Amino acid sequence: MAEAAAPAAPGGMASAGSAHTEPNAKAVDWIAVAAGALGALMATLDISITNSALPQIQGAVGATGTEGTWISTGYLMSEIVMIPLAAWLTRVFGLRNFLVGNATLFTLFSVMCGLSGSLSTLIIARIGQGFTGGAMIPTAQTIIRTRLPRHQLPVGMTVFGLIVILGPLLGPVVGGWLTENVSWHWCFFINVPVCAALLALLLLGLPSDRTHFGEFLRADWLGIIGLAVGLSTLTVVLEEGQRERWFESQLIIWLSLASALGLFLVALSQRLSAKPILRLSLMRNKSYASVIFIVFIVGAGLYCVSYLVPQFLALIAGYNAQQSGVIMLLSGLPAFAMMPILPRLITRVDFRVLVIIGLLFFAGSCLLDIELTAQSVGHDFTLSQLLRGVGQMLCMMPLNQASMAAVNREDSGDAAGLYNMARNLGGSVGLAVIGTFIDRRNALHVDRLRETLNANSTTVQERVAGSTASHFAQVGDLAHAQLQAIKEIALQIQQQASVMTFSETFYVLAVALLVCVPLALLLKTPRPGQAPAVSEAH
C-alpha cells in the first residue's frame, strides 16, 4: 500500500503526505458519525439522568429508597449485557437496521418510563432502555472507525471521548433541572425529540444493508447465554452487595453463583466456538490488553468521582442536586477547551506520553481533594475539577484511538464492545469497592473519634454546657436542651468521620490511577495510514 511505503518522519511518525493519501470523509460519512455520537450521548446521559430525580420518582411510583435504586441498576445491568453483543447483532441485522430498530425501541421504552405508574413497570422500561441504549455506545465507535479515514480518526475519536466523559456528568444536571422546573416525567420524554433527530441522521448517513440471519443461527449461544447471565447478575451483585451486606445475604450468594456459572460458560465458549461472542483472543495483543486494563481503572475513577464529589457536597456542604451539578460540570470545561487542539495533539504526540500525563493529572486531582475539611464548599473543588477534566481528556482520547488502532478494521466492532464493557464494568466494580470502603472506614473513624472524647473532659463539659444553655434559651426545656447538645456532638463526630473517609477514598483512587502508569508504556502509536499488525490482533 502507498501508505506503508511512505518514509517515516522523525519520531516514528509518517510524513504529512502519507497521512492524506486516503481521501477525506464525505458529508454522508460525517452525518453517520454525528448519528453515532448523538446515540452514544443519549445512552450515556440516561445512565445518570434519574439520579437527581430519584426522590420524586420513588414517591410517584410508591417505592422505598432501596427499591428505587433498581431504577438505575436495571438500566446499567442491561446496558453492560448489550454492549459486547452489539457487534454480533450488527452482523445479523446490518448496522443501519440494527441502529434504527434500537433508536425506535429506545424511544418507546422512554415513553413507557415517563408514563409508568408503578415501580415494576418503570424497572421493566428502564431495562429495555438500557438494552437498546447500550447498543448505541460501541456502534458509535465502530461507525467512526469504519467511516473515517485514518488521518481523520482523531477528530471522530475526540468527539466520542467527549461524549463518554460529558454524558454521565450532564445526566444529573439535566435530570435535576427538569425535575425542579418541569416534571420528572420529562427526564424520559426528552428522549423523544432527540430520537427523532437520531433516526433522521441514521437514515441519511448509513446505507441500507441486508440481514444475515444465518449468523443468528450459527451464533455462539453458549457464550451469549453465559454473557447475559454472568454480566447481569455480576452487575446486580456489585450494585446491591453493600446494601445487602454482601455474603450475609442469600440473594447475593445465589446471584454470585449464577454470575460465576455464566462467566464459566463464556470461558468455555472461547474453546468450543469458532466465533466466540466475546473475542477474548484480542487480549493476546499486549497493546490492546493494556488499553482494556487502563480503561477499566479510568472508568472506575470516572464513576467514583462522579459519586464522591456530589456526595461530599450534599452531606458536608449542604448543596442540592443542581448546585452539585454546576461543580461537576467544571470538569467538562477543559473538554470543550481542548477539543480543537486534541486531534492535532493525538496525531503528533506519542499515545504513551499523553496517557501518562493524563493519568498523572487525574491522580493529582484526586490528591488535591485529600485535604478537604468540614468547612469545604463547592469552590474548594474548582482546581481539582479543572485538573481532572484535563486528565480525563488526555487519558480517554488516546485510549479510544489506541483501542481501535490495535486491531484490524473488521475486528473493530468486537474491540469496541470489549472496550466499552471494560469501562462500564470498571465503573460498577469501582462503585462497589468504594461503597464498602466508605462504610467500613467511616465506622472505624466514628469509633476512634468517640474514644477520644471523655465525659470528664473539661473541654467536653464546657461545650455541652454552652450548647445546652443555647437550646434551653430557645425551648425552655432543660432535658430536651441537653439531648440536643449531645446530638450536636454526635453529628459533628459523624461529619468529621465522613470528611476523613472521603479524603482516604480520593487517596485510594489516586494510587489506583498511578498503578496504571507503567502499563501505558505498552501502548503503541501507529503511524498515520499504517495498519495494525494482523498477528497481534488475533
Closest CA to 520 of 320, 379, 358: 358
pLDDT of residue 261: 93
State how far the Cα of 469 lies from the Cα of 485, in Å rounded to an integer.
Answer: 9
pLDDT of residue 13: 41
Are the CB atoms for 303 and 427 separated by under 8 Å? yes
Instruction: Flag whether pLDDT at 304 surpasses 80.
Output: yes
Q: Which residue has the higher pLDDT, 365 or 327?
A: 365
The type of residue at 512 is A
Return the C-alpha cell found at 338: 481542548
Tens digit of each residue's pLDDT (9 = 90 or more) over 348-358? 888 888 899 99
Give mean pLDDT, residues 291-318: 86
Closest CA to 236 of 120, 62, 80, 129: 80
User: How many CA atoms within 13 Å lie on the side-chain side of 390?
Assistant: 14
Q: Which residue has the higher pLDDT, 144 or 104?
A: 104
pTM for this entry:
0.76
3-state SS class at 507: helix
Q: Exposed, middle or buried, 47 (CB in 10 Å: 0-12/13-18/19+)?
A: buried
Tens digit of each residue's pLDDT (9 = 90 or more) over 160-218? 777 777 777 778 778 878 877 888 888 899 999 989 999 999 998 888 888 877 777 77
Instruction: Flag whether pLDDT at 461 surpasses 80.
Output: no
Mean confidence (pLDDT) of the chain: 80
Return the C-alpha cell found at 268: 468455555
State how far the Cα of 287 lies from the Cα of 260, in Å rounded to an integer.
Answer: 28
Torsions phi, psi for 14 (to 5 deg)? -75, 160
pLDDT of residue 14: 41
Which pLDDT band holds residue 511 (cuts at 50, 70, 90)? very high
